[in-house]
Amino acid sequence: MKDIIIVVLAATVLSILGYIFIQVQPEGRYYDCGMAEWHPDIPQSVKEECRKRQYNDYKKDRNIV
């Protein structure tokens, strides 16, 4: 009985690890707009896009047309 439990636990752990490592990573770059204004490594075009998105979110929250 003890051997069966060990095998089941080992299979579960290996399955979880396999699932984590086989995940398909999305291609491209992703930037955190919260850091866009002060981080020196974020390109200017990304900063401008973040500003546009933040303004649109602001308009949406305030119901500004």
pLDDT digits (tens, 9 = 90+) for 13-61: 999 988 887 876 677 888 889 898 899 999 999 999 999 999 998 888 8
**Of 33, 30, 37, which Cα lies nearest the Cα of 50?**
33
pTM for the model stands at 0.52
**What confidence score (pLDDT) does residue 65 get?**
58
